[in-house]
């Protein structure tokens, strides 16, 4: 079974803190993604990575950065957390060969609250 | 630009009744279409996808969807729902050659006994 794990299910941080969200996949997938999920907005792509040290901005990258030093691990960083970043964050991964038709496998999500 | 509209934010239905969750998309390129399901407190999992070929696609848990190019729709159906189908359902689209999925806002299906 493909497994995508996220470091925390729930996280509470204060405004201005630096926040790290970690994601690990065990299927040797090339692609990894970070989304945020908000009620009524569905999932919106923050960043994705198609290889180690490679990244591309998604639709809402402002206020976020990412790091991919190893193939299996993709980190989302909030440099200075703000209350409007309170959300559910979902990580996903997929194979690259076969292109856009590949299934993305999702982690369970991290619910981040910024006070 | 691609976009996805899920026409119903909530769909209440009784157990064993049929259900249809509606999805329309817009795209200037050939598309791949997906339905994902999110059970409470879990991540998303793939129900089914359309890449090419037959416009009627069968997925897991008895769900199916029909790709209609002229109406730019990809509606999800199940002939008889169970309590366990209570979840949020997301329609998504991507273009050939792209890695990015564009998701709809989601439809919350509530199955009542």
pLDDT at B95: 67
Tell me the per-residue pLDDT of B37-85, one tens digit each, with 9 for 90 and over. 999 888 999 999 998 888 899 999 999 999 999 999 999 999 999 999 9
Q: Pick the closest to residue B110 from B44, B11, B38, B16 (CA basis).
A: B11
pLDDT at B31: 83
Nearest CB among A4, A41, A101 relative to B49 is that of A101
Provide φ and ψ at B83, rounded to 5°.
-55, -40
First to last CA, chain A: 37
Nearest CB among B96, B100, B105 relative to A45 is that of B100
Report the gap between the CA of B87 and the closest CA in chain A (Å).
Answer: 14
Nearest CB among B42, B44, B95 relative to A100 is that of B95
DSSP H/E element including A115 = none
pLDDT at A76: 98
Q: Is the dihedral of CA A1, A43, B56, B59 positive or negative?
A: positive
Residues of chain A with pLDDT under 50: none
- What is d(CA B14, CA A115) in angstroms, rounded to the nearest whole number? 40
pLDDT at A98: 67
Tell me the per-residue pLDDT of B12-41, one tens digit each, with 9 for 90 and over. 999 999 999 999 998 877 788 999 999 988
Q: Is the dihedral of CA A93, A27, A54, A66 positive or negative?
A: positive
Cβ contact, residue pair B32, A31, below 8 Å? no
Map tokens 């493909």 to a residue: A2
In chain A, what residues touch B43 (CB-CB under 8 Å)?
4, 90, 92, 106-109
């Amino acid at each position: 079974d493909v497994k995508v794990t996220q470091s925390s299910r729930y996280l509470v941080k204060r405004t201005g803190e630096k926040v790290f969200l970690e994601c690990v996949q065990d299927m040797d997938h090339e692609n990894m993604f970070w989304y945020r999920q908000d009620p009524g907005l569905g999932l919106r792509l923050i960043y994705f990575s198609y290889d180690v040290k490679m990244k591309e901005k998604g639709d809402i990258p402002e206020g976020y950065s990412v790091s991919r030093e190893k193939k299996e691990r993709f980190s989302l960083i909030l440099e200075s957390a703000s209350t409007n970043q309170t959300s559910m964050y979902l990580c996903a991964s997929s194979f690259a060969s076969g292109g856009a038709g590949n299934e993305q496998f999702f982690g369970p999500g991290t619910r981040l609250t910024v006070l | 630009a691609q976009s996805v509209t899920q026409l119903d934010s909530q769909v209440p239905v009784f157990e064993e009744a049929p259900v249809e969750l509606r999805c329309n998309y817009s795209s200037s390129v050939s598309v791949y279409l997906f339905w994902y399901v999110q059970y409470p407190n879990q991540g998303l999992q793939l129900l089914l996808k359309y890449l090419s070929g037959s416009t009627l696609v069968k997925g897991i848990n008895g769900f199916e969807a029909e790709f209609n190019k002229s109406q730019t729709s990809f509606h999800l159906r199940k002939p008889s729902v169970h309590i366990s189908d209570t979840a949020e359902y997301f329609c998504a689209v991507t273009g050939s050659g792209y890695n990015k999925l564009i998701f709809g806002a989601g439809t919350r299906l509530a199955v009542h006994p």
